[in-house]
Structure 1
């Protein structure tokens, strides 16, 4: 977000924090930054290491924030690109793997020695004493090297006055070593070096599994288009290679067959066939006409094409999508804030309970060894690993799953709100329709061939940027009809039509019926107020009329039917005239009472506010921004204006509204998993602490129970990425403009090969 002009105005900045080790580190950074003067809030998403800070302009100075974070032992950097996040996670995986191998290599001998002592397999007490020292010796590399990251994180969180899980892990591991050394000093062989070893080993294994889960969730961002290094740019009369960063707006680039468009732009050639699968997941390519906008990441399936750049590197649509994902990951929903509050007071509570257990045991006359062991078990069992991971992992898995299915959740709070929606309202043009008209019916004059009519109409419309002319050209291409003839002169009159003179002397008139009538051509009167009619005349004679209108995106009717069956109240709110809206409503299965035509932006907002709440509104234009802001959840469909996308909490990457149903299902599943994780972690800590305080639990058993709780949360979150059913085929629909035929797989492969 750009900085405000006044120093006291509120703003937000986004950073990446390097060196994080656990959720406690993230909470410590948040707590330290939140205490700075002028900072309103700080939110650090641990899985993606994304930091969002809100406050006054002066308080958000990068050098000032970086100095505070550096004193805690971390580093502030710009938001990570997908490949940087991948490299960071790979480095973390290697870091964890090395320490885990050390813990395994030495810890196994510690465990073996302890097992021989516990099992009573040694012949006399002297040998047990020797084996206890051996157990401690092999525990030194584990405690002294493999566990260093926990100690470092514990010190940093203590400095930030926000001790968390690592402080408890450090107390537990060092406490187990201290108790064991004290027991050895007293001549006892019942040592607990194995507890410290298992605590560090299993937590390192859990961190590695957690990193792999984060790796899987962030792959959704890396799967997006990564620009090529060099492009072919037109300059000095030839195509020259240059770095993609050097390309400016208005430059012309050449994209060879089979290559991916490096930047956003408009088509300069007569026609192009593009595969938009990286953006939408659809397998059917789409034809593009001159002047149409094309997005980076699409693959050219036809001959080499030329595009005029409209967005430079870093400002393309996919770059903005990555940026939205960063902002989304940094924000926290209510469930996440609840989990953070729970984890924040759980660690101090565990220390208090451990001291309480130790004092009560001593007052009850319990032996010192047993009292210390029980206090140690309380510390170990209370580690809030599962609480810290409950919401972030579920949110990351849900976001990755949604992105893979063409839905971007820009606000994590939308996961919670979307799951509760009771009503859904939709704009018509550009949301339920592709935004461009298409030929619905053709009326042919007596004695005129249909193919000839279409060919002449396409010839007359060639070169025009009017939506109706473009629809006629697209219709001719779909019918595989070529324009017969060559233009000599053309003249387009705004709001009336086109006059085209052919080389053979014929004069074509293409336009509204009233315009042709004013020129003395007799044509039948139109009958349908819900459609636009374009008539064609040749040398003063009417040849035919094309009826054009808006058709729904494929799967719209089925999607709305399923939403209605789920109990949602539906509405079609449009600024178009009544007959067109009512006709379209019938096409998609909406009744007259669910269609609201002739609505201005203010009336759209009032209608959305009057619907059952929480509500959803999907719209693509500037006139829909107010409705998006009024609704509980705003949705921007594919191709929406930048204003609509900025105001929406959810952005769709596939044509049509099938993504609304997908987002609703995923939101319900994600929120369910979040709540399950909170319940699992909360029950574990409540039961485990209660048992550890009230009865003797071996520290090793406490370690295993704590790790099992964390693994259960990870496995439950992973279900979002691995499970779930796919959308019905009719909800995904054909790609591109309705009416354009789908391309079967053999044809698609042939196009790619060409």
Structure 2
């Protein structure tokens, strides 16, 4: 039996879809409840602002056709994840749909309100005219409570069928109850009708829904602002550059990008070097010189002459496309606060119905006239709508994500907001994280009798295709030397064919050549483990890369590193806020100490010569929750061990895909930005949750205990929803960092001990 359980556990998978037809957060809860009851589905989570559905369970249970059939019974449509353009078009359509219905509600509702006002004010000279005004009020309310309110009735019926009645079920009950009570009063000849209550309820909820849609639209625009690729590109075909549609470009095609244009797709640079500006991606005007064979990303702007690159990822599969997709995946997951809000909203609606029935019976038995008892019950239904509860967390998370994007930080997991806001320690890798991602080779020391052009050719071949910063530095050094000495030896390595290449994460790279030779480029320790005789290492504090061929040492490259601008200030600020800091690197102790002195990290906070497994152990021992920033393959285990993993700009592809947070600007200043923004976002989430929860509980208690006019209940309910929207919008529109009081807790050392 245990074996079967283990096998079933191993077969658990995940699938991401888009759900069409969602009208409110109650619809999202209904979809989750409907799918969670299906055999083989272990969990379902809907992120309402982006209309994305994440389903977990056995693979055969996650098939689109099976899930779509289950949702179609409720009236929802299931499809593949939406592209940014499709999502924006959907929200545009929703905005127009809501605007049309809102205009109709205002156009007819104002006459309903006017007629009701004349009745309330006693402006009619005779009672017969009051009754006529009551019928006029009902006539103008008819289009509002039928056509305009139809989406509320439809969503209420769907959620009731899923046994998760929510806000729309209460709105439908409230509007229909107000109309029913009014018709009953009219039949008895009484002009004290409540058509205005139903009209106000529908109209004000439409206003809130429109504001909420605009907030969701803003978050999508922040995502799309990352990169807007052109629709036409220049492709090499038939021995000429021909215009073609971007969607028709395939992997391996060669594209030409003119000076000043942005790269439309990911690829590798061909033919000649290029100068690229990363500002469209990062907001930083930091030109980077790329050599032939270097990877280039969509969104970079060409600052030099026209360049040619070979496509490695078609449209929809570039790094930025994957980034957007990962954000949709992670946004569909729910943090602790969102799950708490869902549970609260889940029992609030049934409680409101029970309390409304209790109020009706209790007030009637207490001798209150039946029409007044119905009005008291109506107020309870209206005032309890959990719209604010459902919006409390998603809107704050979406606002925080959009604000982070504008500041060059991608928060892939909304749950990371909650964890990031509570971190007690932060650890950093050295090379490519605190230092420039492209260290410079200061000198090449030959250890064999080969000529310099031959050594350079072998080093270039050994480093070709590697994403490690030290290997790229060697490749750039080779190109710089060749450029300085002319083109006479530029093709010295042209006949060196690579048969096989393998990169050992964080240690080195081994390359098999077509002539049978085997090259190794990497650290001294790794080469020694491979049987290469190396001389005693010095203690200069500089990084080094060794080149060997067939077990013989050929050359040693010494590299220098400097801290990225702003590193010292960022680390000092984190320390002042009470976070424990650590510098964990696989480099030598002298190099680590040298950098630590430059950025203000204490000696007891430095850990040098650490393997990936050792990094993970250190991170597990640090005060929790912890944060780790690393860029290489040797940091993957550490990123997974830390509570929050952060990938800096230029990090390895695997690191970028596995980290919860990605930085789009050079340096680690984004860590402080993300941390402060996470604290603000979590604070807004808790404020929203407290505001909405306290309102609903107090309002329900007051509505049960004392008579509240239904119109006042409508205004109070809408004010609660708008307060949540406004509080989230305050976070989204904040342009400056809010000052925060430093924590009063005692600062701890890197491993939890007082320094």
- Tell me the TM-score normalized by structure 1: 0.84
Find out whether 1:645 has 2:660 as its counterpart. Answer: no
Select 2:167's aligned residue among 145, 165, 168.
165
Say whether 1:660 aligns with 2:671. yes
Q: Does 1:60 align with 2:62?
A: yes
- SS at 1:664's partner residue? helix
Q: Equivalent residues in 2 for 1:439-454 (5 A)?
A: none
How many residues are matched?
A: 671
Shift of 1:567: 0.7
| Partner-residue secondary structure (3-state), 1:487 | coil
Q: 1:243 aligns with which of 242, 245, 267?
A: 245
**1:707 Cα deviation after fit:** 0.4
- 1:10-49 Cα deviation digits (max 9, x unpaired): 0000000011111111110100000000100000111110
How do residues 133-282 of structure 1 correspond to structure 2 at under 5 angstroms?
133-282=135-284
* Stretch moving more, 268-277 or 416-425: 268-277
**2:693 alignment partner in structure 1:** 682
Aligned equivalent of 2:560:
549
Which of the residues 290, 294, 297 maps onto 2:296? Answer: 294
**1:503 alignment counterpart:** none
Cα contact 1:206–1:710 (8 A) shared by 2:
yes
Seen in structure 2, the aligned counterparts of structure 1 residues 721 and 474 have a Cα distance that, compared at 3 Å, is: farther
Cα distance change on mapping 1:88 and 1:212 into 2, 3 Å = same
Match of residue 332 from structure 1: 334
Instruction: Could you tell me which runs of 5 or more consecutive residues in structure 1 were left unpaired when the two chains were aligned.
Output: 444-456, 496-524, 535-544, 729-754
1:267–1:288: 8 Å Cα contact kept in structure 2?
A: yes
Cα distance, 1:658 vs. partner? 1.2
Matched, 1:625 2:626: no
* Aligned CA distance change for structure 1 residues 719 and 269 (closer, same or farther; 3 Å): farther
1:568 positional shift:
0.7
What displacement does 1:442 show?
13
SS for the counterpart of 2:17 is strand
Q: Which residue of 1 aligns with 2:488?
A: 487
For residues 172 and 99 of structure 2, the distance between their equivalents in structure 1, rounded to whole angstroms, comes to: 20
Task: Work out which of the residue numbers 533, 558, 581 in structure 1 matches 2:592.
Answer: 581
SS of 1:308's equivalent in the other structure is: strand
- Aligned-partner Cα distance in 2 for 1:33–1:706: 30
Measure, in 1, the Cα distance between the counterparts of 2:618 and 2:267.
37
From 389, 392, 406, the equivalent of 2:391 is 389
On the 8 A contact 1:391/1:674 being kept in 2, the answer is: yes
Residues 611-670 of structure 1 show CA distances to partners (whole Å, capped at 9, x for unaligned) of 111111111122111111111111111222232223321111222111111110111000
Cα distance change on mapping 1:529 and 1:361 into 2, 3 Å = same
1:471-510 matched pairs, under 5 angstroms = 471-472=476-477, 483=484, 485-487=486-488
Deviation at 1:468, TM superposition (A): 4.7
Deviation by residue 1:221-251 (Cα, 9 ceiling, x = unmatched): 1212233223222233222233333333332
Contact 1:33 1:42 in 2 (8 A): yes
CA deviations on 1:165-188 (whole Å, 9 max, x unpaired) are 001001100100110111111111
1:664-696, Cα deviation, whole Å (9 max, x unpaired)? 011100000000000100111011111101111
3-state secondary structure, aligned to 1:690: helix
Structure 2, unmatched stretches of 5+, are 1-5, 446-454, 465-470, 499-507, 509-535, 546-555, 740-755
**SS at structure 2 position matched to 1:98:** helix
Show the counterpart of 2:408: 406
1:600 is matched with which residue? 611
Provide Cα deviations, 1:420-479, integer angstroms capped at 9, x if missing partner: 111111111122223332267999xxxxxxxxxxxxx999999996645555479899xx
Judge conservation of contact 1:636–1:650 (CA < 8 Å) in 2: yes
- CA spacing shift, 1:458–1:606, aligned 2, 3 Å: closer
- Judged with a 3 Å threshold, the aligned counterparts in structure 2 of structure 1 residues 546 and 626 are, in CA distance, closer, same or farther, namely closer
Match among 733, 746, 751 for residue 722 of structure 1: 733
Secondary structure, in 3 states, of the residue corresponding to 2:268?
strand
Matching residue of 1:319: 321
- Match of residue 118, structure 1, among 117, 120, 130: 120
Aligned match of 1:500: none
Change over 3 Å in CA distance of 1:688–1:423 after alignment to 2: same
Aligned to 1:73: 75
Displacement, 1:549?
0.9
* Residue of structure 2 in register with 1:752 after alignment: none
- Residues 475 and 558 of structure 1, relative CA distance in 2, 3 Å threshold: farther
1:369–1:634 distance in 2 versus 1, CA, 3 Å:
same
The 2-side partners of 1:486 and 1:300 are apart by 24
Q: TM-score, normalised by structure 2?
A: 0.84
User: Is the Cα–Cα contact under 8 Å of residues 7 and 58 in structure 1 kept in the other structure?
Assistant: no
| Cα distance in structure 1, aligned partners of 2:122 and 2:155 | 38
Q: Deviations over 1:382-434 (max 9, x none)?
A: 01110010001001111111122121222221110100111111111122223
Partner of 2:369: 367
Partner of 1:705: 716
Whole-angstrom distance in 2 between the partners of 1:490 and 1:404: 44
Cα-to-partner distance string for 1:524-555 (whole Å, 9 max, x where unaligned): x9986222689xxxxxxxxxx99631222221
- Cα distance in 2 for residues equivalent to 1:577 and 1:715: 52
Contact 2:345 2:386 in 1 (8 A): yes
Report the RMSD for the aligned CA atoms in angstroms. Answer: 2.9
Change in Cα spacing, 1:284 to 1:489, as seen in structure 2 (3 Å) is closer
Contact 1:385-1:710 at 8 Å conserved across structures? yes
CA distance in 2, matches of 1:8, 1:469: 43
Separation of aligned partners in 1, 2:632 and 2:77: 41
2: distance between equivalents of 1:102 and 1:58? 46
Secondary structure of 2:431's counterpart equals helix
Quote the offset at 1:192 in angstroms: 0.5
Over residues 476-504 of structure 1, what are the superposed CA-to-partner deviations in whole Å (9 max), with x where a residue is unaligned? 99xxxx73655258757999xxxxxxxxx
- In structure 1, what is the equivalent of residue 513 of structure 2? none
Secondary structure, aligned partner of 2:264 = coil
Q: What do the CA deviations read for 1:291-350 (whole angstroms, capped 9, x no partner)?
A: 221100112122211112222222210110111111122111110011011001000000
